[in-house]
Amino acid sequence: MNNPFYEELEHRFRTSKLTVRKDGTVYRGWMVKWNFNDDQLLLDDAVRIEPDQREVDVGSIYIRKPDTVEREPETRGTVRSIDIGDIEPSPYSQREFDHPDFYDYVREVRREQALTSYPEVNPYEDYYIIVSGHKRIEAARRAGFDSVAVIVRDLTDWEVDRRFLDEHIPATEGELNDGKDQHRGWYNADAVEAALEMMVNDWGEEQIREHYAARRWLDGELPPGAEDSDDESEEVEEEAN
């Protein structure tokens, strides 16, 4: 059974820069996922702080049963109400909304006249790009909202797109299976491949491969059986020739 408190905490901390303490060791990095059932925290681009305050790169690291977790103040953002017409989706968004559960959510938002939590956006010249909350923003549009309360971030273009990878690209087979229905969170295989193709065109493969989940997809580790399918198709083609 899902725990609403843990879900909200994970949502608020995800892709924030964290300071994590474990058995006297201090780590600092960007949160990718916090599995409360297993009490495991995944950090990306992480460093370990040595006693002399030197930072040692440790890359992506799982920390089991952390003693304390603190979010860096500069990553918290500010809450503002902005015109919903000034909010644009990520150019890589593959979100699908035509699903009965989504229509139920729109009715709930219209009835309550409020979203379940704050979406996050990043400002550009005269508009905002959605960092997190495509489903919530679309529900607010369909519910007839003129404005919506959001957390306004101050991120670089790469940080915005890394957030997109963090929140939509499954890193494991289990997450991929959970993403069969896109409206529930993770993208399915077709949507992942479409999004990654655009991101590679914009950023280059070397940059995209810095992200753990994206690297697994580009290396053919996900979706499961992808490499086997390619091998089988090649064998069939050879037999036909």
Task: Give the model confidence (pLDDT) of 172-213 as tens digits.
Answer: 888 887 666 665 668 999 999 999 999 999 999 999 999 999
pLDDT of residue 11: 67
pLDDT of residue 75: 55
**Do 132 and 82 share a structural domain?**
yes
Query: How far apart are the C-alpha atoms of 218 and 192, rounded to whole Å?
Result: 11
The last residue of a domain, from among 110, 134, 157: 157
Q: Which residue has the higher pLDDT, 1 or 105?
A: 105
Q: Which residue has the higher pLDDT, 236 or 164?
A: 164
**Do 200 and 143 share a structural domain?**
no
**Do 174 and 216 share a structural domain?**
yes
- Cβ–Cβ < 8 Å for 115, 136: yes
Q: How far is CA 16 from CA 20, 112, 153, 171, in A?
A: 12, 29, 11, 18
In a domain, 164, yes or no: no
φ/ψ of residue 226, rounded to 5:
-60, -45
**Do 66 and 14 share a structural domain?**
yes
Residue 231 has pLDDT above 50, yes or no: no
Paired with 44 in beta bridges are 30
- Cβ–Cβ < 8 Å for 169, 197: no
Residue 239 has pLDDT above 60, yes or no: no
Which pair of structure tokens corresponds to residue 209? 């491969």
**Do 126 and 91 share a structural domain?**
yes
pLDDT of residue 31: 83
**Do 148 and 94 share a structural domain?**
yes
Query: How far apart are the C-alpha atoms of 145 and 31, rounded to whole Å?
Result: 31
Q: Which residue has the higher pLDDT, 93 or 5?
A: 93
pLDDT of residue 89: 96
Summarize pLDDT for 54-88 with one digit per residue, the tens.
999 998 899 999 999 988 765 566 778 999 999 99
Q: How far is CA 202 from CA 26, 55, 95, 125, 195, in A?
A: 35, 31, 19, 20, 11
In a domain, 163, yes or no: no
In a domain, 232, yes or no: no
Q: Which CATH number fits the domain that encloses residue 12?
A: 2.30.30.100
Q: Is the peptide bond before 223 cis (omega within 30 degrees of 0)?
A: yes
In a domain, 60, yes or no: yes
pLDDT of residue 181: 63
Question: At which residue do the structure tokens 């017409």 appear?
Answer: 85
pLDDT of residue 35: 80
Count other Cβ atoms within 10 Å, centred on residue 75. 17
Residue 233 has pLDDT above 50, yes or no: no
**Do 103 and 130 share a structural domain?**
yes
- How many percent of the chain have pLDDT more than 90? 54
Residue 29 has pLDDT above 50, yes or no: yes
The last residue of a domain, from among 103, 125, 157: 157
Q: Which residue has the higher pLDDT, 4 or 200?
A: 200
Strand order in the sheet with 55-64: 55-64, 40-49, 25-35, 17-22, 68-71
- How many percent of the chain have pLDDT more than 70? 82
Average pLDDT on 45-57 reads: 90
Summarize pLDDT for 123-157 with one digit per residue, the tens.
998 999 999 999 999 999 999 999 998 989 989 99
**pTM beyond 0.85:** no
Domain of residue 38, residue span: 4-73
Residue 230 has pLDDT above 60, yes or no: no
Average pLDDT of the chain to the nearest whole number: 85
The last residue of a domain, from among 157, 185, 215: 157
Paired with 24 in beta bridges are none
Domain count, the chain: 3
